[in-house]
Amino acid sequence: MYRYDKYDQAMVDARVEEFRDQTRRRIEGQLNDDQFKPLRLKNGLYLQLHAYMLRVAIPYGTFNSEQMRKLAHIARKYDRGYGHFTTRQNIQYNWIKLEEAPDILAELATVEMHAIQTSGESIRNISADQYAGAAADEICDPRPWAELLRQATTFHPEFSYLPRKFKIAVISSKEDRAALRWHDCALRIVRNEAGEEGFEVYAGGGMGRTPFIAHQIREFLPAQQIFSYLQAILRVWNLHARRDNIHKQRMKILVHELGEEEFRRQVEEEFQTFLALGTDFPQAEYDRIAEYFTPPPFETGLPEEIDRSDPAFALWVDQQVVAHKAPGYAIANISLKPIRGIAGDISAEQMDVVADLAERYSFDDVRATHAQNLVLPHVRKADLYAVWQALDAAGLADANLDLITDIIACPGLDYCSLANARSIPIAQKIAERFQDMDRQRDIGELKIKISGCINACGHHHAGQIGILGVDRKGTENYQLLLGGSGAEDTSQAKITGPGFDEAGIVDAVERTVERYREIREPGERFLDTYRRVGLDAFKEAIYG
């Protein structure tokens, strides 16, 4: 993985001192709350319902055991002994004291971590495929480009006071594990006929109250020109976005209003300006970064067989383990979705267990996923049983990846000051209802995503089953949506009809699932059946 040199380290160290100074000026009254807010947000610090929340960046979802142990330490010392992995591969802490935030940032800087641009109207932490460097289907590791763009977009002087947030994702496979086209700027690494590396560029995606799937604006952009092209996109948006209504300032709105063609034309024109400036990073810098992502020293001649004599282990392997590109190795997914747990939450003790396992069995490499789970990307198949035993002892061995209980849920009204309804208890009730493993496996892939308000942090637009919590005359009400996808077959879920109360939404999900089981054809996932028969075929079952 990437390691800081003296320049990167000096940058995060200076950032800590800057934030300490800004906090001092706030406390002394030189900055009012309105002026301080964007500064703390650019350092990941939100004010929630009960306390400050700190969101720590995990660039492209990759981190190591030392960093994980530091995250555990922060959970113990500054929070309540746990952390929460988010839908953008970051981790956040829910019970932070403002006056301690500079100290936490200083602790993070000692392990090459930060909270820079994890919030506010900035270019956010860049997300990527959680299987990068391990996936059998990738054409190259997307992370060197993500790291190059991390540096290029850190403290960018022209684009630090953007109209709204700006999210970038990078993948390099056909299969999309990163909800690519739900980002403001989505990059897929491809090769052209001459075998050269480049990007398919998509722009204008996003969830929130006005969801859009990103449009392809470039079929092939030579890889070395990506920073010019990105700056062109940002400049068009920065100059022309509305500034009078915060709900209409995301880039997706501008792309929609200008139309794909006109937006592309303006970007291409601005692109020529940036190309002429020569601000792109040279090949030598890409090569320097890529060096850090050379594959670990995989052993050869390892056994492929896995001893499946322990049925609980065999079940975990079937559900959580994915093919690796190196023979004898496997990708092991760690579920953070235990029944009765909170999606994405992990205790400090569990973090230490995962850190130990990464160090011992996975070349010191851990990944966070947008579905709020973790990954050990490089495990010898022969070690899977030992890994599973350790996970099981720590309460981390649930075998529900992509099943109905692997629910994405935002923090909702339990924590968030924007929320209209709780998300966590709904996810828990659905998971309890469907906890029987045979039933879950019979239902198969079914991605439920729950948001506690229209800002859609729980990705309900991309849920095969989406749930949106709203406030209806002072009581929580839940709308049901069907047919969304955050995968390569990206689609936006459609609302089924009137909403439900807390008990009613769980029943409605069950009726939806049972209808699917009645009408599915062999081999069809829920989403396939939905696409074949349409919404109406489910409405009758849902509303009777």
Partner 1 sequence: MADTFRYRDDAPHEEPAITLDSFIEQPGGASAVRVEAGDDVRQLIPYLDQLQLIEIAFPRFRDGRGFSSARILREAGYKGELRAEGDVLIDLLFFMRRCGFDSFASQHVLNPVDVEAALNRYSNVYQDATDDAVPIWKLRHG
In whole angstroms, what is the distance from residue 538 CA to residue 519 CA? 10
- Could you tell me if 243 and 237 are in contact, meaning their C-beta atoms sit under 8 angstroms apart? no
27 is a site residue for partner 1 (CB under 8 A): no
Give yes or no for residue 194 binding partner 1 (CB under 8 A).
no
Is residue 265 involved in binding partner 1 (CB under 8 A)?
Answer: no
* Nearest CA-CA partner of 451 in 406, 486, 416: 416
Shortest Å, Cβ 157 to partner 1: 4
Piece in contact with partner 1 (CB under 8 A), picked from 15-23, 181-189, 401-409, 510-518: 15-23
Considering the complex, state which of residue 161 and residue 292 has its C-beta at the smaller distance from partner 1.
161
> Tokens representing 363?
């070349």
Of the residues 97, 99, 174, 282, which one makes contact with partner 1 according to CB under 8 A: 282
User: Would you call 203 helix, strand, or coil by DSSP?
Assistant: strand
Compare residues 17 and 540 and give the one whose CB is closer to partner 1: 17
Report helix, strand or coil for 236: helix
CB of 119 to partner 1, least distance (A): 14
How far apart are the C-alpha atoms of 96 and 414, rounded to whole Å? 16
Q: How far is the CB of 497 from partner 1 (least distance, A)?
A: 39
Candidates 184, 189, 89, 91; CA nearest to 130 is 89
Cα separation, 318 vs 336, in Å, equals: 17
What's the closest the beta carbon of residue 172 comes to partner 1, in angstroms? 22
Is residue 33 at the binding interface for partner 1, with CB under 8 A as the rule?
Answer: no
CA 88 to chain centre: 3
User: Binding of partner 1 at residue 35 (CB under 8 A)?
Assistant: yes
Q: Return the residues of window 205-234 that contact partner 1 according to CB under 8 A.
A: 227
DSSP 324: B
Q: Quick one: 291 or 442, whose CB is closer to partner 1?
A: 291
Report, in Å, the least distance between residue 150 CB and partner 1: 9
Q: Which is nearer to partner 1, 276 or 503 (CB)?
A: 276
The token pair at 8 is 């990167």
Token pair in block for residue 180: 């690519």
Whether the CB-CB separation of 293 and 378 falls below 8 Å is answered with no
Q: Does 288 bind partner 1 (CB under 8 A)?
A: yes
* Strand bridging mode 494-495 / 52-56: unpaired
Q: Which stretch binds partner 1 (CB under 8 A): 271-279, 328-336, 400-408, 475-483?
A: 271-279
Q: Look up residue 462 and give its DSSP letter.
A: G
By beta-carbon proximity to partner 1, the closer residue of 15 and 69 is: 15
- Report the alpha-carbon distance of residue 437 to residue 433 in Å, rounded: 11
Amino acid at 45: L
Comparison of 169 and 234: residue with beta carbon closer to partner 1: 234
Q: Which is nearer to partner 1, 194 or 277 (CB)?
A: 277
* Identity of the residue, 28 or 193, whose beta carbon is nearer to partner 1 in the bound complex: 28
In this structure, is the dihedral angle defined by the CA atoms of residues 492, 496, 500 and 505, taken in order, positive or negative?
A: negative
Name the token pair of 367.
């990944």
Cβ closest to partner 1, residue 15 vs residue 55: 15
Q: Which residue lies nearer to partner 1 by CB, 14 or 393? A: 14
| Beta carbons within 8 Å of 56's beta carbon, 6+ residues apart | 44, 71, 74, 90, 91, 92, 93, 108, 113, 114, 115, 118
Residues 125-184 that bind partner 1 (CB under 8 A): 151-152, 154-163
Contact stretch for partner 1 (CB under 8 A) within 18-26, 81-89, 95-103, 523-531: 18-26
Can you tell me the distance from the alpha carbon of 368 to that of 161, in angstroms, rounded to the nearest whole number?
Answer: 28
Residues in binding contact with partner 1, number by CB under 8 A? 43
Subset of residues 229 to 258 that bind partner 1, contact rule: CB under 8 A = 235, 238-239, 243
Residue 277 carries which DSSP code?
H
Site for partner 1 in 466-525 (CB under 8 A): none
Question: Where on the chain is the footprint of partner 1 (CB under 8 A)?
Answer: 5, 7-8, 10-11, 14, 17-18, 21-22, 25, 30-31, 35, 38-39, 121, 151-152, 154-163, 227, 235, 238-239, 243, 273, 277-279, 281-282, 284-285, 288
